[in-house]
Structures are given as structure tokens and as C-alpha cells.
């Protein structure tokens, strides 16, 4: 057994992060966010070269901003809302080759932002709100094609330079530059990322509606009762919920490993919740009719709930919450039940009448027998 995922987020841990954590070289995910941890981040955390997600946000950590330059596989980092020493942008911001999400809100960062930050090839999100960056924000001319969100709200930028090659979201509300240009899109507080959340396509199916509790299968385009629930991914390697390639890979893995028909999986509206978990609505469709049988539901539910099913690596650890399944016996028409009740009632009525008739007949026969006996025995 080796420890791969350390998921202690959202608890009430206090005190320092132990130095011994830096010796657990097998770790790939470290989530200690939303606790009350204090003290400096151990320097040997930089030795965890297999970690792809590090989340230490919303604690009371202090001391210098940690050096993460040795975490060459780091994909997602969030150090927000701690009390680190004031610091300019460290070089690891743009030197980590796999970094896709850099999030440090209220991190006491200051100075100018180097243009090279925005050219990292895998970078998708930069969220550095509530710091003290100043001067001109210049995204440069070599902007990563993957970059979709740049947010520097509530900093001290006096000007901004953005080329037409960047078509993602830029959020600068709360900066001095917005005092002079209040009507520009990047000064709008309510703006959102332009990418739409992924949903399995039903474009080949007709646009009719299914009855209650049923959904349209993307595989057969017919209505059926899917086995459904929500998958909570606690440390995905990517932040773009419109990433069709990743979600189509998840669909394929689900129908293959759960022994379903190809194309019989539907994913809907992934989003990141307040715990930074990615929620995905999952629907799995039967292939031999409108329902799964009980054995199939038990098998699929076991594989998902006990994490026997392993998603693609970029989705990270997960858990699954299933919805109750509407088996056929829960959908028997009411007319059959009423018919059965009426039949039982009529049968009982006939039985009562027959028993009363039998009793009357027996009493009549008894009286006749007594009368005959009296007549025969009278002369003696």
C-alpha cells in the first residue's frame, strides 16, 4: 500500500504542517485547504515531485511563500487566503511546465507581473485577486492557447495591454485602471468565462420529450430509465469545464469499464462547487430495454460507490452519490391494483354467500331428519 491522495480539506486541523509530509514521495494530491493550520510551509514539500495538485488555501499559514520549483508535475496550485510574507512573483509561477491553474487570492503578492507567466503552454487559469500587483498588466504576444481566465481583481494596475490574440476572460474590477475605463468588459464585476460547460450531444436524436423519470439515451435516441447520480472529482488536473476531449474520454471509460453499450453514457453541466470539487451529473442507460435489472444496478452502483471504477487520470480522486433507481415494480399502473382488490372482494363475497347457503341447507336437513324420527317413533 502506498499513500497517493492526502485529502484532509474542510476539517478543523490546527498547528503546523508536519515536516514528515515532505518524505511521502508517493503523494500525487495534497489537499489541506479550509482548516486552521498555522506556521510556515515545510521547505521539503518541494521534494514531492509527483504531486499534481497542491491546495493549502484558507488556513493561517505564514512565513515565506513556499518554493514549489521542484514540483515539476504540479498542475493545480491554490495558496489563497493565508498570511505569507509579502513577496514578488516567484519564478516557479512560469517555470512549472505542467501548471494549468495558478490561484493565490489575498496572498500579499506585489510588484509587476512578468509577461512570460501567460505563455506557459498548459496554463488555463490565473486567479491572483486581492494582491498588490501594480504598474501595467501586459499579457504579451505569446499567450498560451489554453488560457481562458485571467483575473487580477482588486490589485493596483494603472493600465493594461491585451492583444487580439487573447479571447478569454480578463477580470480587473477594483483596479485603478477601471476608474478611467469603467465601461470596458474587463471592469465588469459580473463577467463570466465564455466557455460553456460540456454536455453529451444529442444532436442526432429528435427533439421530443421523454416521460417523467425517463431520459433520452444518446446511444439509441429512445427514452429509458437511466441509472444516474453525481460524480464529485476532488482534484482534477484541469479547470476548463468545457473540455470536450477530457469528458468524452470519461464517457468512453465509463461505458467500457462498467460493461455498457458504447455511447450509452450522458454527462451534463460540470461545474466547480464551493469546495473546489468538480461536480458532474452522470446518466447510464440500459441497452436491452427501458430498465436495468436489479443485478445490473447493484453491480454498477458497487463499482462507482466503492471506486472500483477508475476514471481517466486527469480527473483525479472522486466519490459518487447515486439517485434512487425507479425499478419496474414501482411503476405498476394503479388500475391493476384496483382490479386485484375488486377481484378479491368479489371472491370473498361469493364465499360468504356460499357458506351462508350451506348453513341454511344443513339446518333445514336437520329439522327434516328430526321430524321423520318423531313420526317413526311415535307408536312405540
Give the pLDDT score at 292.
95
Please say if the pLDDT value at position 159 is more than 80. yes
| Domain span holding position 101 | 5-187
Query: What pLDDT digit, counting tens, does each position of 341-351 carry?
Result: 555 555 555 45
Same domain for 60 and 181, yes or no, is yes
Task: Tell me what pLDDT residue 181 has.
Answer: 80
Residue 201 lies in a domain: no
Q: How many domains does the chain have?
A: 2
- Together in a domain, 180 and 295: no
Mean pLDDT to the nearest integer, 249-262? 95
Same structural domain, 227 and 266: yes
Q: What grid cell was written down for 234? A: 476532488
Mean per-residue pLDDT for 92-112? Answer: 96
Is 33 a domain residue? yes
Q: Are 88 and 165 in a shared domain?
A: yes
For residues 5 and 158, give the distance between their C-alpha atoms in angstroms, rounded to a whole number: 42
* Host H or E run for residue 189: none
Q: Is 321 helix (H, G, I), strand (E, B) or coil?
A: strand
Question: Please, what is the average pLDDT of the chain?
Answer: 87
**Within-domain flag for 337:** no
Residue 371 has pLDDT above 60, yes or no: no
Q: What are phi and psi of 223, to 5 degrees?
A: -85, 140
Looking at the fold, whether 166 and 239 belong to one and the same domain comes out as no
- Beta carbons within 8 Å of 372's beta carbon, 6+ residues apart: none
Q: Are 12 and 161 within one domain?
A: yes
Most confident of 1-10, 74-83, 196-205: 74-83
42 and 81 within one domain: yes
Residue 100 counted as domain residue: yes
**One domain, residues 70 and 126:** yes
- Least trusted range by pLDDT, from 55-69, 196-210, 304-318: 196-210
**DSSP character at residue 363:** H
30: CATH: 3.80.10.10
Q: How many CB atoms lie within 10 A of CB 190?
A: 6
The verdict on 285 and 144 lying in the same domain is no
Among the ranges given (4-18, 54-68, 234-248), the one the predictor scored with the smallest mean pLDDT = 234-248
Q: What is the CATH number of the domain that holds 221?
A: 3.30.70
Q: In terms of domains, do 122 and 261 share one?
A: no
**Section 119-143 average pLDDT:** 94
d(CA 135, CA 151): 16
Q: How confident is the model at residue 243 (pLDDT cuts 50, 70, 90)?
A: confident
Of 322, 343, 367, which one is at a domain's C-terminal end?
Answer: 322
Neighbours of 308 (CB within 10 A): 11
- Cα separation, 374 vs 360, in Å, equals 22
Q: Is residue 360 part of a domain?
A: no
Please tell me the distance from the alpha carbon of residue 302 to that of residue 279, in angstroms, as a whole number. Answer: 19
Segment 89-93 shows an average pLDDT of 96
Amino acid at each position: 500500500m502506498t499513500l497517493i491522495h492526502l485529502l484532509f480539506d474542510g476539517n478543523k486541523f490546527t498547528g503546523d504542517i508536519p515536516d514528515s509530509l515532505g518524505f511521502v514521495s508517493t503523494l500525487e494530491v495534497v489537499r489541506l485547504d479550509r482548516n486552521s493550520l498555522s506556521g510556515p510551509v515545510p521547505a521539503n514539500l518541494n521534494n514531492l515531485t509527483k504531486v499534481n495538485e497542491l491546495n493549502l488555501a484558507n488556513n493561517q499559514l505564514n512565513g515565506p511563500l513556499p518554493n514549489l520549483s521542484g514540483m515539476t508535475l504540479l498542475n493545480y496550485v491554490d495558496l489563497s487566503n493565508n498570511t505569507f510574507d509579502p513577496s514578488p512573483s516567484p519564478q516557479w509561477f512560469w517555470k512549472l511546465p505542467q501548471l494549468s491553474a495558478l490561484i493565490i487570492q489575498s496572498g500579499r503578492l506585489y510588484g509587476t507581473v512578468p509577461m512570460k507567466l501567460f505563455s506557459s503552454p498548459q496554463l488555463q487559469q490565473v486567479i491572483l485577486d486581492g494582491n498588490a500587483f501594480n504598474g501595467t498588466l501586459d499579457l504579451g504576444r505569446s499567450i498560451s492557447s489554453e488560457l481562458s481566465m485571467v483575473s487580477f481583481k482588486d490589485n493596483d494596475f494603472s493600465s493594461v495591454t491585451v492583444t487580439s490574440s487573447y479571447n478569454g476572460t480578463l477580470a480587473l474590477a477594483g483596479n485603478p485602471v477601471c476608474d478611467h475605463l469603467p465601461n470596458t468588459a474587463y471592469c465588469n464585476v459580473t463577467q463570466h468565462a465564455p466557455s460553456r460547460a460540456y454536455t453529451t450531444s444529442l444532436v442526432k436524436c429528435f427533439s421530443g420529450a421523454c416521460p417523467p423519470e425517463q431520459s433520452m439515451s444518446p446511444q439509441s435516441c429512445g427514452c429509458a430509465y437511466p441509472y444516474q447520480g453525481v460524480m464529485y472529482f476532488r482534484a482534477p488536473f484541469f479547470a476548463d469545464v468545457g473540455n470536450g476531449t477530457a469528458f468524452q474520454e470519461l464517457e468512453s471509460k465509463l461505458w467500457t469499464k462498467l460493461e455498457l453499450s458504447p455511447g450509452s453514457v450522458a454527462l451534463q453541466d460540470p461545474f466547480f462547487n464551493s469546495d473546489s470539487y468538480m461536480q458532474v451529473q452522470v446518466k447510464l442507460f440500459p441497452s436491452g430495454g427501458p430498465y436495468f435489472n436489479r443485478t445490473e444496478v447493484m453491480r454498477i452502483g458497487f463499482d462507482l460507490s466503492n471506486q472500483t471504477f477508475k476514471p481517466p487520470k486527469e480527473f483525479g480522486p472522486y466519490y459518487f452519490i447515486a439517485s434512487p433507481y425507479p425499478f419496474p415494480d414501482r411503476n405498476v399502473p394503479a388500475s391493476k391494483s384496483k382490479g386485484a382488490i375488486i377481484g378479491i372482494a368479489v371472491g370473498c363475497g361469493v364465499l360468504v354467500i356460499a357458506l351462508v347457503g350451506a348453513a341454511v341447507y344443513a339446518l333445514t336437513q336437520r329439522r327434516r331428519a328430526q321430524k321423520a324420527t318423531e313420526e317413526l317413533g311415535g307408536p312405540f
